[in-house]
Amino acid sequence: MSLFQDAIRTGGAALEMRVRRFASFVRTSDPELAQAVAALVMNDPTRAFGGDAAVRTSPVDSDTKLPLVRIEPASTPRGEPVLTEATRAEVERVVRERHASDRLIAAGLMPVRSVLMSGPPGVGKTMTAGWLAKQLGLPLFTLDLASVMSSYLGKTGANVRAVLNHAQEHPCVLLLDEFDSIAKRRDDDSDVGELKRLVTVILQTIDDWSPLSLLVAATNHGELLDPAVWRRFDVTLNFSLPDPAQRAQLLRAHGVADEVANAISAVIEGQTFSAISRALDSARKQTILEGVPFEEALVAWALAFSATSGKPSSAIERQRRDLRALVYHGRNLSTREIADQIGTSHTTVIRSLKRFHGGDDAGT
């Protein structure tokens, strides 16, 4: 064992990778030895954990000299993602295991090393990767597909391998966004042989991944991934479009009153977290530049979306009416004045407000 320890300290990253591969090779025949060797790599005190070293040695494309990864320091401010209870529990488990890596390895167990996130665009996959990096106190490395993908035979594979090796030499969270671009099904006849070979390399790398870093892959098209990919990841997270409670939670987190947040959430079914965030920013800009009250600007966006949502007209019309009544009620108008503004009856306005205020008629 001391031979392995000396090799890690003096042999550099290339030899360290060979030690990792040895641990992977004997994992089945001698799991105790494999765990002990992995622990040496994980706990070696002579490694450079600083972000500066990672930036200085960041891999670049040999032709364009463009960096192959984008590096964000651990101190980067990040918002907390809005997740379902099940997804949040899985994310918190990843964080707990990573923080307890030493204890798990000492007990012959490996902490989570890889996470695969799948779901439509704009539902929080990238934000969750950043949040994981923040919670773990690690920089976030993001594979830059624009730089990695090359028209030259063999270059794309070489670039991806360079990024994977770099991420294992410098503790980080490595995000492989748009993972389906480099890990497509190998039975896809439209892809060239290089990308099919790259999938095999990626699968081997996931198996041998260093516990020093966390590998996170994200895809909008899980059905395009090679089936073997799904089995290689320690944790898989399936993201879906936000439900009404999640939409309201995001709105409340940005200063929208509870009643208005719930009302807006009801009429924007199908909107993603990223779309709602853009709407919040746009509403704030309208408040600053045009003097439009923040919540009114947000309501206008929600009403415009609901008009094109394709939902049954009766349900949409009631939600729209309720939302408009709530906004005018916030201006301290009476129910009769609100009825005049939105073109409905006084009793209809009272019913709308009852759904929010439990019978408050705002001064009939």
Tens-place pLDDT, residues 188-212: 555 556 667 788 888 888 998 989 9
Single-letter residue type at 127? M
Q: Locate 210 and state its tokens.
A: 């260093």
For residue range 144-181, what is the model confidence (pLDDT) as tens digits?
887 777 655 567 788 888 999 999 989 999 999 989 88
For residue range 229-254, what is the model confidence (pLDDT) as tens digits?
899 999 999 999 999 999 999 999 99
Asked whether residue 286 carries a pLDDT value surpassing 70, the answer given is yes
Residue with tokens 């892959």: 217
Cβ(114)–Cβ(224) below 8 Å: no
> Dihedral (C-alpha) 174, 179, 184, 190: value to the nearest 10 degrees?
-120
User: CA nearest 352: which of 341, 361, 340?
Assistant: 361
Q: Locate 142 and state its tokens.
A: 């993001």
Tell me 188's DSSP state: -
In whole angstroms, what separates CA 160 from the centre of its chain?
Answer: 21
Is residue 217 within a helix (H) or strand (E), and if so which, with residue range?
strand 214-219
For residue range 91-118, what is the model confidence (pLDDT) as tens digits?
999 999 999 998 998 888 999 999 999 9
Residue 223, judged by CB atoms within 10 A of its CB (0-12, 13-18, 19+), counts as exposed
Whole-model pTM?
0.72
- CATH code, residues 48-238: 3.40.50.300
For residue range 13-23, what is the model confidence (pLDDT) as tens digits?
445 555 655 66
